[in-house]
């Protein structure tokens, strides 16, 4: 008679012993820890290397307070798009229309606020409504008509670009009122005082570090409770301290520039909400299940059509958020706005560890991937690198990231 090992469950009293055990268990072998999570470890190492490289090549200009602030302002809308794009990719789809949707939502907002003279908040609400409607349009065709997302969103890219030209009558509109511009160009400064720096920005940085430390410790306790591998406690403390130091350096630089950008607060809220959505909710798990193994998800009772529909509605909503941020930063709406944004968002998701076949990826990973692209673009601009060379470098980085994903899958499967 063959015996089977029951699934791992917390032992009696383990819920009380786990926090204490979390202080004494784990491995100290860096190679084991790195190779055990090669996909995610690699992007963090790459980000550190790229930041250090451009800091040297630009004589420290890339890490100056003003430049760090500019990176946040210039690439915030791409990071917003990357959040939605990674969820679409996890579900096994792609969205090529987001750049056109950014242009359309910004155009609608500009027509209402600038041409019609309506309040600035009406333009924002209208843009968000248009984005949700576009997402529902895509979701209906993909989820219920069964047309591949590549074709639907390719058609959407052309359709909504044409609608943008019609809405704007093929001319640019500007300027937005000061309240609208403040969303992407405003700062919170002086709320808690500070001599030569903004104390509020430092407080937010310290709050973020504390939240991160509590979150990762709770994750460590849960992994110990279920007898999963973790790093040794000294390495765990070193990791938290390193992340804390990086965040506080970042906050210190912002505090000595113009304070905390409002758009950074918006981005942080979105990362927090969507991080919880993808990791802690039924909907998030269902998206991973659909992208990882569609037949199994269907047999498990997952409402695949409904989940796919809402994935695209969400992408439309985040495209509208990016459209509002972009139009706010550019202080107007242009017919060519959003051109190639979809490729930047897709690149951020793949560089951040998303798998081309779906089922793998994280919101935080997409943010890191987006930051890699942002730091590279900003660094090459500071160095005066020609635009053509910048495109070549970005293309090669994307190719290497996808090749690494393919290699990682073959290695995990024991192939060659």
Domain identity same for 267 and 253: no
Position with higher pLDDT, 231 vs 69? 69
Q: Which of 215, 239, 259 is where one domain is finished?
A: 259
* Rounded distance between C-alpha atoms, residue 105 and residue 125, angstroms: 10
Say how many domains are in the chain.
Answer: 2
Q: Please compute the mean of the pLDDT values over residues 7-29 and round it to a whole number.
A: 53
Domain identity same for 224 and 371: no
**Two tokens, residue 247:** 């965040």
**Phi/psi of residue 27, each to 5°?**
-105, 150
Q: What is the pLDDT of residue 273?
A: 93
Asked if the structure places residue 300 within a domain, the reply is yes
Asked if the structure places residue 2 within a domain, the reply is no
166: closest CA among 343, 323, 333?
A: 333
Diameter over CA atoms, the chain = 80
The CATH number of the domain where 118 resides is what?
A: 1.10.3470
Q: Please compute the mean of the pLDDT values over residues 388-415 and round it to a whole number.
A: 77
Chain center to CA of 395: 19
Is residue 51 within 8 Å of 375, Cβ to Cβ?
yes
Asked if the structure places residue 29 within a domain, the reply is no
Domain identity same for 286 and 298: yes
Which residue is associated with the tokens 């998800």?
A: 297
Asked if the structure places residue 413 within a domain, the reply is no
Domain range spanning residue 92?
Answer: 39-183+261-407
Domain identity same for 193 and 305: no
* Rounded distance between C-alpha atoms, residue 325 and residue 81, angstroms: 11
Q: Which of 219, 244, 259 is where one domain is finished?
A: 259
pLDDT value at 415 more than 60: no
Domain identity same for 354 and 247: no
Q: Which of 73-82, 126-135, 252-261, 382-391 has the lowest mean pLDDT?
A: 252-261
Domain identity same for 242 and 271: no
Residues in the chain: 416
Is residue 389 within 8 Å of 64, Cβ to Cβ?
no
Q: What is the DSSP letter of 142?
A: I
Q: What is the pLDDT of residue 7?
A: 45
Record the pTM: 0.86
Confidence category of residue 34, pLDDT binned at 50, 70, 90: low
Angle of the 178-185 helix axis to the 304-330 helix axis, nearest 10: 110
Neighbours of 370 (CB within 10 A): 27
Q: What is the pLDDT of residue 195?
A: 66
Q: What is the pLDDT of residue 3?
A: 43
Alpha helix (H) residue ranges in 58-176: 65-90, 98-110, 120-139, 149-168
Is residue 256 within 8 Å of 196, Cβ to Cβ?
yes
Confidence category of residue 4, pLDDT binned at 50, 70, 90: very low
pLDDT value at 1 more than 60: no
Rg over alpha carbons for the chain, rounded to the nearest Å, is: 23
Domain identity same for 349 and 285: yes
Cβ partners under 8 Å of residue 177, min gap 6: 113, 120
236: closest CA among 250, 220, 252?
A: 220
Confidence category of residue 131, pLDDT binned at 50, 70, 90: very high
* Rounded distance between C-alpha atoms, residue 107 and residue 102, angstroms: 9
Q: What is the pLDDT of residue 230?
A: 75
Domain identity same for 179 and 311: yes
Asked if the structure places residue 195 within a domain, the reply is yes
Q: What is the pLDDT of residue 63?
A: 84
Q: What is the pLDDT of residue 315?
A: 96
Position with higher pLDDT, 166 vs 46? 166
Q: Which of 226, 259, 292 is where one domain is finished?
A: 259
pLDDT value at 232 more than 90: no
Domain identity same for 270 and 359: yes
* Rounded distance between C-alpha atoms, residue 394 and residue 78, angstroms: 15
Domain identity same for 316 and 402: yes
pLDDT value at 300 more than 60: yes
* Rounded distance between C-alpha atoms, residue 58 and residue 348, angstroms: 24
Is residue 80 within 8 Å of 270, Cβ to Cβ?
yes
Cβ partners under 8 Å of residue 97, min gap 6: 134, 138, 153, 154, 156, 157, 159, 160, 319, 342
Domain identity same for 255 and 265: no
pLDDT value at 117 more than 50: yes
Domain identity same for 274 and 346: yes
Q: What is the pLDDT of residue 215?
A: 84
């Amino acid at each position: 008679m063959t015996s089977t090992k029951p699934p791992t469950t917390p032992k009696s009293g383990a819920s009380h012993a786990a926090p204490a055990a979390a202080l004494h268990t784990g491995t100290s072998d860096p190679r084991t820890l790195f190779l055990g999570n090669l996909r995610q470890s690699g992007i963090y190492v790459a980000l550190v290397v790229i930041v250090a490289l451009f800091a040297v090549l630009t004589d420290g200009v890339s890490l100056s307070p003003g430049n760090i602030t500019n990176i946040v302002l210039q690439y915030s809308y791409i990071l917003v798009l990357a959040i939605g794009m990674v969820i679409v990719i996890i579900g096994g789809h792609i969205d090529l229309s987001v750049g056109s949707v950014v242009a359309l939502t910004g155009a609608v907002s500009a027509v209402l606020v600038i041409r019609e003279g309506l309040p600035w908040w009406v333009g924002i609400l209208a843009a968000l409504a248009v984005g949700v409607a576009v997402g529902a349009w895509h979701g209906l065709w993909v989820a219920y008509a069964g047309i591949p997302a590549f074709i639907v969103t390719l058609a959407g890219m052309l359709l909504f670009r044409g609608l943008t030209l019609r809405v704007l009558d093929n001319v640019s509109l500007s300027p937005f009122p000061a309240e609208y511009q403040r969303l992407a160009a405003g700062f919170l400064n002086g709320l808690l005082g500070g001599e030569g720096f903004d104390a509020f920005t430092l407080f937010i940085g310290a709050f973020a570090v504390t939240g991160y430390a509590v979150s990762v410790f709770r994750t460590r306790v849960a992994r110990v409770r279920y007898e999963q591998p973790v790093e040794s406690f000294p390495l765990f403390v070193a990791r938290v301290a390193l992340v804390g130091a990086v965040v506080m350096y970042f906050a210190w630089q912002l505090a000595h520039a113009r304070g905390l950008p409002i758009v950074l607060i918006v981005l942080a809220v979105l990362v927090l909400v969507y991080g919880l959505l993808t990791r802690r909710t039924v909907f998030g798990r269902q998206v991973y299940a659909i992208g990882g193994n569609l037949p199994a998800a269907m047999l498990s009772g997952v409402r695949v059509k409904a989940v796919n529909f809402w994935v695209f509605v969400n992408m439309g909503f985040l495209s509208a958020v990016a459209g509002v941020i972009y139009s706010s930063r550019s202080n107007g709406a242009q017919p060519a706005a959003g051109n190639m944004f979809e490729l930047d968002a897709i690149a951020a998701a793949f560089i951040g560890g998303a798998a081309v076949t779906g089922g793998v990826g994280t919101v935080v990973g997409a943010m890191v991937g987006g930051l890699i692209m942002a730091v590279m673009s900003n660094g090459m601009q500071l160095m005066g690198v020609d635009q053509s060379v910048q495109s070549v470098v970005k293309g090669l980085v994307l190719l290497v990231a996808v090749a690494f994903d393919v290699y990682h899958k073959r290695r995990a499967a024991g192939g060659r």
